[in-house]
Amino acid sequence: MSTKPSIHGLLLDELATFCNEQKLPAFRAKQIWDWLYTQRVSSFDEMKNLPAPLRGLLGEQFVFQTLKKLETKGEAGETQKLLFELADNEWIETVIIPAPRRQKNTVCLSSQVGCVYGCAFCASGQKGVIRNLSAGEIVGEVLEVTRELGARPNNVVFMGIGEPFDNYDEVMKSIRIMNHPDGLAIGARKITVSTCGVVPGIERFSEEGIQVELSVSLHGTDDQTRSCLMPVNESWPLDELMNACEAYTTQTNRIITFEYTLIKDLNDSAVQARELVKLLRRFPCRVNLIPLSPVEEFEGERSTPEAMKAFFQTLEKAHINATLRDSKGVGLKAACGQLRSRRL
């Protein structure tokens, strides 16, 4: 595996520092970024206005392509799943979810190879974690999707494989690169980081001063149910998690979206709906109800449409802003919780 850093993992400032160290004119950094993120070329050789020796130097110092696309599943214009091989032969998956009526393309990014948290119903963490993705690899996912779509995606969610707060620094760096007006210029509010409830990550995220959205995967309204579904609850139980969420909301003035996957007879009862209302009444927030996607290692079943509707209505009646999401991509195994690092 190459030990060279990825050119897509550098902030503009870092590239400027590199140019400075190499005694290159300061404008070169922006020129290179323009080739990377506006022109979106696929090699250093295509950076036509750079002198050949500089192109050679960049090639010696940096890797250009960090992901190799092995497979695209699904039709263009519909949900698609891309399988990538990384330089060390690990595999990750990335999903494109278009909403043509709203002229919106969402990309669902992976942040790690595998996941350490092992939620019972999620395929991504069934065999643990191998490693973090680098910022360059994460930006690479967005660029590959951009190539596939012929345009930049306008919505980015860290809801693929991995726990973004377990790879905090590289995830934040990739966000700064995609958000930068000279980078991919994707608006901060169009980027969502989703956590399974890693409290130190939420606390750190409160301090970022960035308008990126935060989602928290909840899935249970009492410690026993939540710990059984999400072992992470043993480390940061509900009380601690909700305190951190409240503190985040107060400090940032931003609204958290809670993800709640409905599982038949496990967390979808009328009592649990009312418990959820109680839990969330403390501060403004939103709830995304997700139907369970089938995962072979998990025996739970999707809630009935009636139970889902009743659960939704309880939240609505309590004036909690809720959506009942339809799950996209189940046929491709590209829906919530179905992604895998396939070598694991």
Residue numbers at the binding site for ligand SAH (CB under 6 A): 119, 121-122, 159, 163, 194-196, 217, 259, 261, 290, 292-293, 295, 336-337
Between CA 96 and CA 334 the distance in angstroms is 9
* Residue 124 C-beta: closest distance to ligand SAH, Å: 7
Between CA 201 and CA 222 the distance in angstroms is 22
Walk across the sheet containing 321-324 and list its strands.
Answer: 67-73, 80-86, 91-99, 104-108, 155-158, 191-195, 213-217, 256-262, 285-291, 321-324
Q: Which residue lies nearer to ligand SAH by CB, 15 or 261? A: 261
Q: Which residue lies nearer to ligand SAH by CB, 134 or 192? A: 192
CB 161 within 8 A of CB 340: yes
Residue with the CB atom nearest ligand SAH in the bound state: 337
Between CA 53 and CA 265 the distance in angstroms is 65
* Residue 195 C-beta: closest distance to ligand SAH, Å: 5
Catalytic-residue membership of 170: no
* Residue 95 C-beta: closest distance to ligand SAH, Å: 11
Q: Which residue lies nearer to ligand SAH by CB, 178 or 193? A: 193
Looking at 108, 119, 196, 336, which residue is catalytic? 336
Q: Which residue lies nearer to ligand SAH by CB, 152 or 302? A: 302
CB atoms < 10 A from the CB of 266, how many? 20
Q: Which residue lies nearer to ligand SAH by CB, 159 or 184? A: 159
Burial label, 330 (beta-carbon count in 10 A; 0-12, 13-18, 19+): middle
* Residue 157 C-beta: closest distance to ligand SAH, Å: 8
* Residue 148 C-beta: closest distance to ligand SAH, Å: 21
Burial label, 188 (beta-carbon count in 10 A; 0-12, 13-18, 19+): middle
Between CA 217 and CA 336 the distance in angstroms is 11
* Residue 165 C-beta: closest distance to ligand SAH, Å: 8
Catalytic-residue membership of 259: no
Please identify which residue in the block is written with the tokens 């009942």. Answer: 324
Between CA 312 and CA 73 the distance in angstroms is 32
Between CA 38 and CA 284 the distance in angstroms is 38
Q: Which residue lies nearer to ligand SAH by CB, 136 or 337? A: 337
Q: Which residue lies nearer to ligand SAH by CB, 135 or 196? A: 196
Looking at 90, 93, 144, 163, which residue is catalytic? 93
* Residue 290 C-beta: closest distance to ligand SAH, Å: 5
User: What residues are annotated to the active site?
Assistant: 93, 336
